[in-house]
C-alpha cells in the first residue's frame, strides 16, 4: 500500500487542533478535505499525532538509571508529583539537576523517556506532572490538553519555581539547577526563567511560546532556544524575544532548524519528528547543560 501523502497544510491543521482550540470533529473534517476523503484522513492522523505506544529510546526498566515517583510542595497549598530519575552509576559525588517540563499532553511516557535520556547524560532529572494537583495526567490526550488549558498561569509558574527549589536540595544534587521544556513546556521554561531569577542557571526551550517582553529583564539563566523553521505560529515571536534578551544582556542562543516542524524532537510522531534537527538540538542542549550545571 502506498503511504498517504502528508502536506504542510495537514500538519498546520493538526497544530491548530492541539494548540488553538480546534475540536477533533473539525480536525477530521479538515483533514478529509485536504486528503480527499475520510478514509485517507483516518490513515494520515496517526502519522501526525504522537503515539503513546511508540517505543522509548531508553526503556523504563533500563538498569543504567534509577527512577521513582516523588512528591514535593507546590507553589501554594497543594503538593506536586513527578518522575525522578538519576544515573545508576556516576563518577561524580554530586550532579547538576534538570527539570523536564512536559508538552500539553501532560506527563507522558515520551517525557519520562526524555528524562531517562538526560539522566544517562549525567544529571539528576525530575519531570513534574503539572496536572498532579488535579488528579494527574489522564490517558485521554484530549482531556489532558483541556486540563492543561484550564491551569492558572501564575499558579503553574509558581509550581515550576517551587520545583526548582526542591531540586536544589535533592540528595546528590550540586544545587545548580536547569530546565528543559517542549511545546507548552517550552513556554513554561520561558515563564519560569522570568520568575525564578538566579535560582535557575540554565534554561532550554524547545519551540515554546515566548514570554511578555516586559518580563525578560528578570531572566538570570543562560537561555538556549530551539525552533522549527516551519513553525510559523511560534516563530512569529522570535524577533521580539531575541531583541528583549539582547537588551537585557541575557546570555542566550537561538537556533532555527529550517526544515523542521513544531514538535520536531518528539520521536513518537512519525511525520513531525525530524531526526537530524532533533539530534543536533539535543547535542547543543546537553553541551549547554553540562557547561552550566557541571
Catalytic residues: 183, 231, 262
> Which residues, in sequence order, are CB contacts of 3 under 8 Å at separation 6+?
47
Q: Is 180 within 8 Å of 100 (Cβ atoms)? A: yes
Q: Does the CA dihedral 264-232-25-135 come out positive or negative?
A: positive
∠ CA 278-150-271, nearest 5°, is 25
Cα-trace Rg, the chain:
19
DSSP-assigned beta bridge partners for residue 129? 81
Q: Give the DSSP H or E segment for 202.
A: strand 202-206
Element (H, E) at 17: helix 8-19
Count CB neighbours of 60 within 10 A.
Answer: 13
| CA–CA–CA angle 83, 87, 91 (5° rounding) | 150
SS3 state at 110: helix
C-beta separation of 115 from 193 below 8 A: no
CB–CB of 60/109 below 8 Å?
yes
Q: What would the DSSP string read from start to end of 124-193?
A: EEEEEETTGGGT---S-HHHHHHHHHTS-HHHHHHHHHHHHHHHTTSTTEEEEEEEEEETHHHHHHHHHH
Amino acid at each position: 500500500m502506498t503511504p498517504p501523502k502528508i502536506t504542510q497544510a495537514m500538519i498546520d491543521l493538526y497544530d491548530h487542533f492541539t494548540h488553538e482550540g480546534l475540536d477533533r470533529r473539525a480536525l477530521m473534517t479538515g483533514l478529509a478535505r485536504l486528503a480527499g476523503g475520510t478514509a485517507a484522513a483516518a490513515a494520515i492522523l496517526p502519522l501526525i499525532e504522537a503515539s503513546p505506544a511508540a517505543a522509548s529510546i531508553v526503556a523504563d526498566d533500563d538498569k543504567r538509571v534509577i527512577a521513582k515517583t516523588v512528591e514535593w510542595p507546590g507553589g501554594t497549598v497543594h503538593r506536586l508529583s513527578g518522575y525522578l530519575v538519576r544515573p545508576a552509576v556516576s563518577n561524580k559525588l554530586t550532579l547538576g539537576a534538570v527539570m523536564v517540563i512536559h508538552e500539553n499532553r501532560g506527563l507522558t511516557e515520551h517525557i519520562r523517556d526524555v528524562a531517562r535520556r538526560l539522566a544517562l547524560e549525567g544529571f539528576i532529572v525530575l519531570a513534574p506532572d503539572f496536572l498532579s494537583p488535579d488528579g494527574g495526567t489522564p490517558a485521554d490526550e484530549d482531556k489532558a490538553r483541556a486540563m492543561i488549558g484550564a491551569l492558572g498561569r501564575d499558579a503553574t509558574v509558581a509550581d515550576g519555581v517551587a520545583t526548582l527549589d526542591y531540586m536544589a536540595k535533592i540528595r546528590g544534587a550540586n544545587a545548580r539547577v536547569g530546565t528543559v521544556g517542549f511545546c507548552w513546556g517550552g513556554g513554561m521554561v520561558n515563564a519560569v526563567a522570568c520568575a525564578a531569577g538566579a535560582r535557575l542557571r540554565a534554561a532550554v526551550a524547545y519551540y515554546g511560546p515566548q514570554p511578555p517582553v516586559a518580563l525578560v529583564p528578570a531572566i538570570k539563566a543562560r537561555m538556549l532556544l530551539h525552533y522549527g523553521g516551519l513553525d510559523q505560529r511560534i516563530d512569529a515571536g522570535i524577533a521580539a524575544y531575541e531583541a528583549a534578551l539582547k537588551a537585557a544582556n541575557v546570555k542566550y542562543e537561538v537556533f532555527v532548524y529550517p526544515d523542521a516542524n513544531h514538535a520536531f524532537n518528539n520521536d513518537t510522531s512519525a511525520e513531525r519528528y525530524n531526526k537530524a534537527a532533533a539530534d543536533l538540538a539535543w547535542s547543543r542542549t546537553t553541551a549547554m547543560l553540562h557547561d552550566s550545571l557541571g
